[in-house]
Structure 1
């Protein structure tokens, strides 16, 4: 766990250093995540070394929201005073994020070539609980084949 935490903090520090040295408008943590993603893509062994501990750290992710909640409670008067602009900006930015994400997704899908035709489904009766019409109940033809006991 200490090794994984050290790796994650090292990438964040490297990102902060690059952001500070280059006077970049991008947060250092984001630069660190991009560098970590590049390292994980280039060195698959790193992924297997930190994966289990990183998943364990994700269990504590909700604790990171506690300081933000405390900050809102401390500045509740200021937040209440500016509640309408905050609410409008949250709604507009959320809608804008959804639209931009959809457009980027469509653009990326257009870049990839179509995949080969899917494999034909198995035709054995026990292959799937669904029938050709998509229902789980036996079709009338299937009921006719069943012999009474």
Structure 2
């Protein structure tokens, strides 16, 4: 029953994100609105972490299973992807490297800010 309640909270936040997406005409996916709402709710403690923690852990654990339909779809589209396989792989690898580099830089930036803040508090 606990998982059902926690999953319902997550789905409700996602539904609100979908509703926001209907009324705001920005090219932002509804799931991003939902993630931002969940982040705001957790940071402001409107949604306590214990209210969604177990269901979230479960969803993260089964995440690899969610990629199976996409992989099967790629295999099903082999006739279309075959001729452009090399450019597809190059673009995928380059974009992955760029995303990893930018993510690392942003993470280092926030770690430095956090260290400076902690150093100032310790002084």
Is TM-score (shorter-chain normalized) higher than 0.5?
Answer: yes
TM-score by length of 2: 0.80
Per residue, is there more helix in 1 or in 2? 2
C-alpha distance in 2, partners of 1:105/1:84? 31
Corresponding residue number in structure 1 for 2:24: 22
For 1:142, the equivalent position in structure 2 comes to none
Pick one of 42, 57, 63 that aligns with 1:40. Answer: 42
Q: Which of the numbers 57, 82, 85 marks the counterpart of 1:83?
A: 85
Aligned length: 116
Unaligned runs of 5+ in 2: none
| SS of residue in 1 equivalent to 2:52 | helix
CA offset at residue 87 of structure 1?
Answer: 0.9
Q: Which runs of 5+ in 1 are unaligned?
A: 117-149
Alpha-carbon RMSD across the aligned residues, in angstroms, is: 2.0
**Which shows bigger deviation, 51-60 or 11-20?**
51-60
> So what's the TM-score if we normalise by structure 1?
0.67
Quick check: which has more Rg, 1 or 2?
Answer: 1
